Amino acid sequence: MEKQAKQVIVIGSGVAGLAVAIRLALQGKQVKVYEKNAYPGGKLTQIKLGAYTFDAGPSLFTLPHLVLELYQAAGLDATAYFEYEEIEEAFYYHFSDNSSFYTHKDETRFREQLSKLFAPREVDQFFQHLQRAKLRYEATAPLFLESSLHELSTYLSKNVLPAITKLPKLGLLGSMHGENKSIFTDQRLQQYFDRFATYNGSNPYEAPALLNLIPHLEHGYGTFFPKKGMHQITQALFALAQKCGVEFYFNSSVERILISSGKAIGIRFADGTEQLSDLVVCNADIRFAYKNLIPEIPAPKAFERLASSSSAMIFYWGVKGIFPSLRLHNVFFSENYQAEFDAIFNGKGYSDDPTIYINIGSKCVAADAPAEGENWFIMVNVAADKGQDWDSIRAALRASILEKMSRILQRDISSLIEEEDYLDPRRIETRTASIGGGLYGHASNERMAAFWRQANKSSRVKNLYFCGGSVHPGGGIPLCLNSAKITSELIAKYEN
């Protein structure tokens, strides 16, 4: 008799939910995705304001091969479906002393840029630090970012030896900032490398020096941008999932995961209706899931030791003006970085002098702004929501951003804004069910964070799996795609 295809329910259509749905459908499973919003993508979505289109969340795209892999798995030529380009001069960095540089994908040209500002020894150290990042990434990624940390087979694999032999060089002792400070005398370069902690919502003054591997993603593999903007990743994966036979149900908020005799057996909606399945994969924020979807299962004790990742205050400004000095990604550093992170992680939740990140998608996708305009996505890091007065904070941050940007760019930015909207921790939480509006689930401030994060397979409920930015191996698009891959591999191993 023919074996019946297993029925899988995926809760949430974030980038990891879409990717896991594709992979499971390709395993021959019948996959249904239930999404509370009217649209797919979760944080990876877009908004339109008048003649301007904005990527609403992620703006930095690295490791595009992880998207291409999904097409390869489906036996399709990715180039016919998903176009992207490598960015030559991806970042503009501006420091509080008004000095600035551009990054360049070509090392010689990048070295020229750095040499205008920094002593030769510092520039040499810059590239040596990138080599260190490469070594660390290559030694640890197969183990920590591409495998489950909760399977014995991982520790018996060939990936363990390279990590062990390089242990002394991995940066397991000390903090990111401690290491950067010991390498660079120029505070601007300390600040440059410290900033990579924000790529997973962490604090460089606490996060382990191992995280100094993050720059390798940008500098080693390159910085990319989809031809139609970041939202194209969602559109492409959504279309691929449908092509693979995945069924989507929008405006479908899941109220509970049904558990019977220690097994996940389906889901229940707010109106009381139920949908049964053989397996449940939860792509919702893990803290939300323990609190609301499986309240009968206590969250792991380790969660108490993990800080929430930072959140963000975002302004979407349709700016009537062209700024040739700016690039796709622009960073305007604060004067005192330590005070900024202290305020975010240990203080009032935001800094009066925040580092300002401006992403201008229309530098690459001209159609996203009118001919004489630019679509500014302005983001400053803030704490996850703990009941702060976000309306007042928003007003204060808006004023401080306008003052700083008008001063640096020598134009009255306020008078150029013709469209405007915002996102704050509360809105991020409401729109994506991420607790406190944390961008990346838990922060990686703790040395043991990788081991304390939620595993992709529940150890307490059979047939229940997790994927997404708040579970192993962590947040950000590349890790979410890895998370989906690890989860689908575990399902192939245990549930066929």
Ligand X SMILES: Cc1cc2nc3c(=O)[nH]c(=O)nc-3n(C[C@H](O)[C@H](O)[C@H](O)COP(=O)(O)OP(=O)(O)OC[C@H]3O[C@@H](n4cnc5c(N)ncnc54)[C@H](O)[C@@H]3O)c2cc1C
Return residues touching ligand X (CB under 6 A).
11-17, 34-37, 42-44, 57-60, 253-254, 283-284, 312, 314, 428, 432-434, 439-440, 468-469, 475-477, 480
CB closer to ligand X out of 86 and 97: 86
CB closer to ligand X out of 209 and 484: 484
CB closer to ligand X out of 133 and 293: 293
Q: What share of the chain is helix, strand, coil (3-state, %, to 5)?
A: 40, 20, 40
d(CA 196, CA 132): 14
Least Å distance between CB 472 and ligand X? 12
Least Å distance between CB 295 and ligand X? 13
Which residues are paired to 91 by β-bridges? 329
d(CA 44, CA 42): 5
Least Å distance between CB 427 and ligand X? 10
**For the chain, how many residues are written?**
496
Least Å distance between CB 436 and ligand X? 12
CB closer to ligand X out of 59 and 308: 59
DSSP string, 253-290: -EEEEEEETTEEEEEEETTS-EEE-SEEEE-S-HHHII
d(CA 111, CA 105): 10
Among candidate residues 287, 281, 268, 263, the one with its CA nearest the CA of residue 461:
263
Among candidate residues 142, 204, 203, 132, the one with its CA nearest the CA of residue 170:
132
CB closer to ligand X out of 90 and 139: 90
Least Å distance between CB 1 and ligand X? 35
CB closer to ligand X out of 78 and 230: 230
| E strand or H helix that includes residue 494 | helix 477-494
Least Å distance between CB 435 and ligand X? 11
User: What tokens does 114 get?
Assistant: 């750095």
Least Å distance between CB 283 and ligand X? 5
Which residues are paired to 41 by β-bridges? 14
- 453 CA to centre of own chain: 15
Residues 29 and 247: beta-carbon distance below 8 Å: no
CB closer to ligand X out of 320 and 426: 426
Which residues are paired to 93 by β-bridges? 101, 331
CB closer to ligand X out of 292 and 406: 292
d(CA 120, CA 113): 12
d(CA 467, CA 20): 8
Least Å distance between CB 456 and ligand X? 12
CB closer to ligand X out of 136 and 287: 287
Q: Crossing angle of helices 65-73/477-494, nearest 10°?
A: 30
Least Å distance between CB 6 and ligand X? 21
